[in-house]
Structure 1
Amino acid sequence: MKKLLLGLTASALLLTAASAQAADQLTLQLKWVTQAQFAGYIVAKEKGFYSDADLDITIAPGGPNVAPEQVIAGGGADIIVDWMGGALAAREKGVALVNIAQPFKRSGLMMICPTETGITSEADFPGHTLGVWFFGNEYPFFAWMNKLGLDTAEGGDVTVLQQSFDIQPMIQGQADCISVMTYNEYGQALDAGYGPDNLTIFNYTDMGNDLLEDGLYVMEDTLEDPAKVDAYTRFVKASMMGWEYALENPEEAAQIVVDSDDTGGAELAHQLYMVGEVSKLVDATDPALDMATYERTVKALLDQSIITAEPEGGFTTVVTDGL
């Protein structure tokens, strides 16, 4: 009997070990620091949606010195959150990124100009300094300027300032207009006393100039492995559960984000504001890529020579078809 019990115990331990090893390990590289822009993924991890899907997910925060395309190319991540402009530009340069899902359906990008600059329409841009982020975030801006026929080269129609990731260039008068995200820097502008009454606001989505943001990308060769595709599919499904939960429970989601930020930089009120604004951009029920927006994004990138040829294989529906 003792030997039987020992045998059963050993078998149970083996089964437990096998079960523990069953979870597929994936690393998700965020495009920016830990904040509610990524609430769906952070909530999915905290609420156990990934573990329920037999996934062991590591979420790696980004920052001003982190390029997700380089991280995944170097083997530091399995999946990245990226804007399509940066992803397709990297693909053309040899980093074979493929979009597997697109939770963000609309752009959160805007340009804001204090009324004292005298800028009330696009026609007023010439002769002014316009701030924009770089590191792949500049592509929508340059596509817009190209559409307007404005020369952005040195000495051209407008002066382009590579701005910091805050509203200081506007406050300090370094730029007449600056780039903001509806869910982040625009909130900072509101806190600083700016708003629709003293700003001219150019919303990329409202103008029809929005390019796809915050999609999920993997390396093309990994899609040849059915087991990897299965893991990606479970990841996207669990992530969308995270997004749905976050948007339905904004206060809890904001607190989860704050608690997940190891730097201590995430502030609760701002994260709650961010969840509310992100909810206007994300479709928590449909992670599929919208082809009309994809084609508009590609055309804008081609027109600006950000990419030089129509991309082939830049997206796949194999994951979202399997949900």
Structure 2
Amino acid sequence: MRRLALPLAALLLISACGTADDPGGTSTKDGVTTVKLQLQWFYQAQFAGYIAAVEKGFYTEQGLKVELLEGGVDIVPQTVLAQGRADYAVAWVPKALASREQGAQITDVGQFFARSGSYQVSFANKGINSPGDLKGKKVGNWGFGNEFELFAGMTKAGLDPGKDVTLVQQQFDMQALLRGDIDAAQAMSYNEYAQLLEATNPATGKLYTPADFTVIDWNKVGTAMLQDAVWASTERLKDKSYQDTTVKFLAGTIKGWAFCRDNAEACRDLVVAKGSKLGASHQLWQMNETSKLIWPSTKGIGLVDEADWQRTVDLSMSTKNQDGKTVLTKKPDGTAYTNEYVQKALDQAKSAGVDVQGAGFTPKQVTLNAGGA
């Protein structure tokens, strides 16, 4: 989830992993097709829908055997996909589009997160309530493409990320903010923000509360970009067998996310059992917050909304980083995304009685324990 860089030299070596007998690249035996999905971070409830689809047999129902490839700091999902080492990958849209512009032949076939989960968080006494308030402050960010919404928000507020703030490379936790080393920290609603609420306030001896912080939500600011999507090989989508596998994979994934929407505790347990290093209360929080990014889905889970896509592209072409460079230099071509396969998967899921819109979804009230235990 955390890396953007995709060396052009690596892209020149990209090849589809198909063969003359199996142009789709997947392996089928006894009617079961093996599929590899590259995740963008370590096992956690951010990926609960895929984990549930494996563990509850939703992919098996589709004739698939899905292997989940755990992500990490040095793993770039769209690169793994483009180099043929996975059949599908989960990646943020602007990062994947940047890789695409460098030559990665990948296509967004399922936009499962409809909303952004990115925050910029500060202690309430810092008085940072909007992007404009970041001027003159020490602003933490992870880099590697995770900072695009932050830069877009500052640009909208009339700030130059290279001059008007002090940018600080932030670790993948909230310790720099808690220590007072930075004034504002990057956080995901489903992960790092919870880490703050799991920490003890030395002034009270109790856990921090939301009132102790201010949150800049890029969805409200208007600079949110599309995040977790399922990407497929553009070249392999020319093959009928890979097209069929894609529909089956998306149908199983849709059922997985619907299951987790309706069974948050069960999916928390599946993620914990998968080996996540995060605690049970943290994972339930994450499951709840992740569901908020998906549901309700008015048109159906996984469909790319044209307005959201265009906003992401426009921001990627207009927002400059501290060096004056933009994420994209040109608009992506028409193969950058397609709703063809996810629509077929939605039709199949609806005919099987799966609620693909989640209009009645109501978030839970989750109590976090110290350290997320």
The residue that corresponds to 2:146 in the other structure is: 137
Shifted more, 115-124 versus 185-194: the winner is 115-124
Structure of greater relative contact order (alpha carbons < 8 Å, 6+ residues apart): 1
1:99-178 matches, within 5 Å, as 99-153=108-162, 156-178=163-185
1:321 and 2:316 aligned = no
Match of 1:30 among 31, 35, 39: 39
- For 1:317 and 1:295, the matched residues in 2 are separated by 15
1:176-195 matches, within 5 Å, as 176-192=183-199, 193-195=207-209
Code of the aligned partner of 1:275: M
- For 1:136 and 1:232, the matched residues in 2 are separated by 27
Unaligned residue ranges in structure 1 (runs of 5+): 1-18
TM-score, L = length of structure 2: 0.78
% identical equivalent positions: 36
Task: Give the superposition deviation at 1:165.
Answer: 1.2
1:215-234 matches, within 5 Å, as 215-234=229-248
Q: Secondary structure at the match of 1:280?
A: helix
Code of the aligned partner of 1:120: N
- For 2:31 and 2:289, the matched residues in 1 are separated by 37
- For 2:137 and 2:279, the matched residues in 1 are separated by 34
Code of the aligned partner of 1:309: K
Match of 1:47 among 45, 49, 56: 56
Task: Give the superposition deviation at 1:145.
Answer: 2.1
**Contact 2:190–2:289 (Cα < 8 Å) also in 1:** yes
Q: Secondary structure at the match of 1:194?
A: coil
Q: Secondary structure at the match of 1:287?
A: coil
Task: Give the superposition deviation at 1:243.
Answer: 0.5
The residue that corresponds to 1:306 in the other structure is: 327
The residue that corresponds to 2:281 in the other structure is: 269
Task: Give the superposition deviation at 1:126.
Answer: 1.2
The residue that corresponds to 2:359 in the other structure is: none
- For 1:50 and 1:228, the matched residues in 2 are separated by 15
Q: What do residues 238-286 of structure 1 show as CA deviations (whole Å, max 9, x unaligned)?
A: 101000111111111000011112xx51321111111111111114742
Greater share of helix = 1
The residue that corresponds to 1:8 in the other structure is: none
Task: Give the superposition deviation at 1:196.
Answer: 3.2
The residue that corresponds to 1:56 in the other structure is: 65
**Contact 1:96–1:219 (Cα < 8 Å) also in 2:** yes
Q: CA RMSD in A?
A: 1.5
The residue that corresponds to 1:289 in the other structure is: 304
Q: Secondary structure at the match of 1:308?
A: coil
The residue that corresponds to 1:199 in the other structure is: 213
- For 2:337 and 2:111, the matched residues in 1 are separated by 10
TM-score, L = length of structure 1: 0.89
The residue that corresponds to 2:352 in the other structure is: none
**Contact 1:85–1:140 (Cα < 8 Å) also in 2:** no
Unaligned residue ranges in structure 2 (runs of 5+): 1-27, 200-206, 320-325, 346-373
1:238 and 2:249 aligned = no
- For 1:142 and 1:206, the matched residues in 2 are separated by 15
When Rg is computed on C-alpha atoms for both structures, the one with the higher figure is: 1
Task: Give the superposition deviation at 1:20.
Answer: 4.8
The residue that corresponds to 1:252 in the other structure is: 266
Shifted more, 106-115 versus 194-203: the winner is 194-203
Aligned length: 301
Code of the aligned partner of 1:225: D
Task: Give the superposition deviation at 1:130.
Answer: 0.9
Q: Secondary structure at the match of 2:294?
A: coil
Q: What do residues 155-181 of structure 1 show as CA deviations (whole Å, max 9, x unaligned)?
A: x10111121111111012221000111
- For 1:289 and 1:120, the matched residues in 2 are separated by 31
- For 1:54 and 1:137, the matched residues in 2 are separated by 36
